[in-house]
Chain A
């Protein structure tokens, strides 16, 4: 299935590059169509998103981490991949800090300017999010949890190195998230409004 010669994966790559700062003119040049046709392509694929296969949707979810793919692999002005932003912010704590900042700011109705605060675009922030989500999935979600009861009470299998690593990564995630959430809750405490501060039991 395609629209004006643009497949779903072309469309996904185009969207990722647009979000990464590539101009519409450049995107249209890479796809070999004019802007009115690109507008129809967008409309078409937006409306057919729910019909796409799991593989296509997986690709759509991951392409924003690496927009230099397909027709955009060698395109001039294509958006950088996650490696570029990881050079700037290599630590998991960096990303969790930004995430907590964004969440807590949103809770008090403030939209943060990533470029001003951290020198990266919203898309680069999303790329970091994709990178660390994949890390968490690999280290925690895809590893069977250690069953301490089975081990201690029923002579079950001993903890494996992967499970030890799972335990460490899980705790690190909790510790860093709690740390940055507490930090930004404190920062925004005066901006927060309690609608019921005069109502008590």
Chain B
């Protein structure tokens, strides 16, 4: 089945065979780009996980490699755009007026914006989540190594949920020691955010959906009935709060010291929403 087969079959019967052939060719091109995009995501994930292992869990080269792959994926979207402007449109204009081929342009825009660009954004969350989880499982093992009191050499238990330098008291002689984690342990603090975001991916999907639904409404003007806008804004507000609640709750599973600040952290993240609502909808 073609990429936009439904729309293609809706084309009026009086279309010339030459134009219909161009439409079919354009659909086929978009289909191939879409397939290549999804194949590339699978290959990218495998390559980046391998990269992490081969670099002895140095997360920076893996993320640099991701930037390169991301640019290649984005280029697929650019190609859709330039192909329509430079090849498809000039050929179709031989049979149609410009306003008659707007729907053909829209097919490309849909693939570029909704499938490729939004797909990359979502894939990035999943990828960073998986890479970060793999890194976490590796780095956390360093906290099982022995740490001894500087005064009496007794073995000291180090907490498994603090990844920065901190004071640890010796149970035997009460000396206060400073535990300074190695670089891998220190980095755990930053990968935890990626893991939490990945775990909240379903809530992220709902948040994005609500944002898109609200932004698809045309701009509100003062004399217009605000009810449909309020409904869309409420949905966006609820979806955003749900996402941030899930995200901060997941984060606090790894960093219990943040358990108490979840409500505050959500309020900070929601600040922009209320500012936007006041600015654009005046309430």
Interface residues of A (CB under 8 A from B): 34-36, 38-40, 42-43, 47, 50-51, 106-111, 192-196, 199-201
Contact present for B268 and A201 (CB under 8 Å): no
A-B interface contact total, Cβ < 8 Å? 73
Bound complex: CA A95 to CA B91 (Å): 44
Q: Distance (Å) between the CB of B217 and the closest chain A CB?
A: 28
Contact present for A108 and B165 (CB under 8 Å): no
Q: Distance (Å) between the CB of A112 and the closest chain B CB?
A: 10
Contact present for A43 and B164 (CB under 8 Å): yes
Contact present for A193 and B178 (CB under 8 Å): no
Q: Distance (Å) between the CB of A151 and the closest chain B CB?
A: 32
Partner of B261, one of A38, A47, A106, A194: A47
Known: A109-B64, A109-B67. 16 other contacts (CB 8 A): A36-B178, A39-B164, A43-B164, A51-B268, A107-B68, A107-B71, A108-B71, A109-B69, A110-B68, A111-B60, A192-B72, A195-B40, A195-B72, A195-B75, A199-B32, A199-B33
Bound complex: CA A196 to CA B67 (Å): 18
Q: Does B26 lie at the interface of the complex (its beta carbon under 8 Å from any beta carbon of A)?
A: yes
Q: Which of A38, A192, A194, A199 has the most CB of B within 10 A?
A: A199
When distances are taken between beta carbons in the complex, the residues of chain A under 8 Å from B111 are none
Please give me the residue from chain A that is nearest to B44 by CB atom: A195
27 A–B contacts, CB within 8 A, in A order: A34-B178, A35-B165, A36-B164, A36-B167, A39-B165, A39-B166, A40-B164, A50-B268, A50-B271, A51-B268, A107-B71, A108-B68, A108-B71, A109-B64, A109-B71, A110-B68, A111-B60, A111-B61, A111-B64, A193-B72, A194-B75, A195-B40, A195-B72, A196-B32, A199-B32, A199-B79, A201-B87
